Amino acid sequence: MKTRITELFGIRHPIIQGGMHFVGLAELASAVSNAGGLGLITGLTQKTPELLAKEIARCRDMTDKPFGVNLTFLPTFASPPYAEYIAAIAEGGVRIVETAGRSPEQYMPALKASGIKVIHKCTSVRHALKAQQIGCDAVSVDGFECGGHPGEDDVPNMILLPRAADELSIPFVASGGMADGRSLVAALALGADGMNMGTRFVATKEAPVHPNVKQAIVDASELDTRLVMRQLRNTERVLKNAGVDALMAVERAKGAEIGIADIRDFVGGVYPKVMVEGQMDAGAWSCGMVAGLINDVPSVADLLGRIVREAEDIVSRRLSNLIGESALVVD
């Protein structure tokens, strides 16, 4: 399956593994790349640029296929040493970076000088257009369904993707609600050049997370996510658990007066507890509504193979049969 995304990144399938904290390690990134997609190491999970360099080298030992690094620009006072992270990425021979969070504009000269292709995650058409303007090579358009931060516009992908297709000239992938061949065909039909999956890749054999996390996703339905931090305009979609229930109780009690300090215990330092130790009620961790479509924990290779076969079958059989001999011919 050829699209502008497969040609841009030199991959077989237009499927990207999104950056995920304490999930995007070499084991998962290399498995996705080996299976024909684009795997991503999550840069800031590595506490220093030196550790990121080691993780890149580790991934390089596991695959000879293209892979990238996710670099999230955080709205914090004590920013990570982004220039040093970018240097580690470039020196490691990585030529694809997924940026997220705040605009990467400040760092685009350094990225482009190193020959790095940039795909930026956006939750609105206006942000996607800005990414295009500053020189990003592609964008990941995240609908309201997505796990993590869906922005504040609450626009689902059935609207957001065709709007992006109307406005953008650079390639883009659909993110949020993506899990199978149906998702891929729908994304392509709506104008995207591929899809980005996060939650679906957590529930795979190679994902380096605690088995409790994978089982929680398999057990969850599409009704089991919650939106937190809305009053702070830092909305995050997370999986419902006891810690999230407690967080939301604080939000209700504080109302408009809430500050980040009031909920810090429920959102800070949660990922090592959940992803490594399997403490499922430790607090808020990102999960998409797509959990309702996830019923197993396959290998990454089996998952991508299944997605591509299903997508090809939908296009070649079901959709073509719908047209068939009964198609209207309009002169």
Q: What's the rounded mean pLDDT across residues 301-307?
A: 98
The tens digit of pLDDT for each residue in 197-223 reads: 999 999 999 999 999 999 999 999 999
**How much is the pLDDT for 76?**
60
The tens digit of pLDDT for each residue in 18-34 reads: 999 999 999 999 999 99
Percent of the chain with pLDDT over 90: 94
Rounded to 10 degrees, what is the CA torsion of 234, 193, 158, 230? 0
Q: What's the rounded mean pLDDT across residues 123-151?
A: 97
CA distances from 314 to 74, 130, 181, 234 (A): 40, 34, 8, 38
**How much is the pLDDT for 78?**
63
**How much is the pLDDT for 330?**
53
3-state secondary structure of 39: strand
**How much is the pLDDT for 323?**
82
Cα Rg of the chain (Å, integer): 19
For residue 326, pLDDT over 90 is answered with: no
Least confident stretch, 71-80, 116-125, 153-162, 179-188: 71-80
**How much is the pLDDT for 320?**
87
For residue 127, pLDDT over 70 is answered with: yes
Q: Confidence band (pLDDT; 50, 70, 90) for 112? A: very high
For residue 328, pLDDT over 60 is answered with: no
Distance CA 67, CA 32 (A): 9
**How much is the pLDDT for 331?**
52
Q: Model pTM?
A: 0.95
**How much is the pLDDT for 44?**
96
Q: What's the rounded mean pLDDT across residues 98-121?
A: 97
Q: What's the rounded mean pLDDT across residues 60-87?
A: 91
Q: Confidence band (pLDDT; 50, 70, 90) for 74? A: confident
Q: Confidence band (pLDDT; 50, 70, 90) for 235? A: very high
**How much is the pLDDT for 327?**
54
3-state secondary structure of 32: helix
**How much is the pLDDT for 329?**
53
The phi and psi torsions of 314 (rounded to 5 degrees) equal -60, -45
Least confident stretch, 68-82, 122-136, 245-259: 68-82
**How much is the pLDDT for 113?**
98
The tens digit of pLDDT for each residue in 278-292 reads: 999 999 999 999 999
For residue 307, pLDDT over 70 is answered with: yes
**Structure-token pair, residue 302:** 């089996």
For residue 324, pLDDT over 80 is answered with: no
Q: What's the rounded mean pLDDT across residues 106-126?
A: 98
**How much is the pLDDT for 285?**
98
CA distances from 116 to 133, 182, 255 (A): 17, 31, 43
For residue 125, pLDDT over 80 is answered with: yes
Q: What's the rounded mean pLDDT across residues 68-80?
A: 83
**How much is the pLDDT for 142?**
97
Distance CA 125, CA 147 (A): 18
The phi and psi torsions of 227 (rounded to 5 degrees) equal -100, 125
For residue 155, pLDDT over 60 is answered with: yes
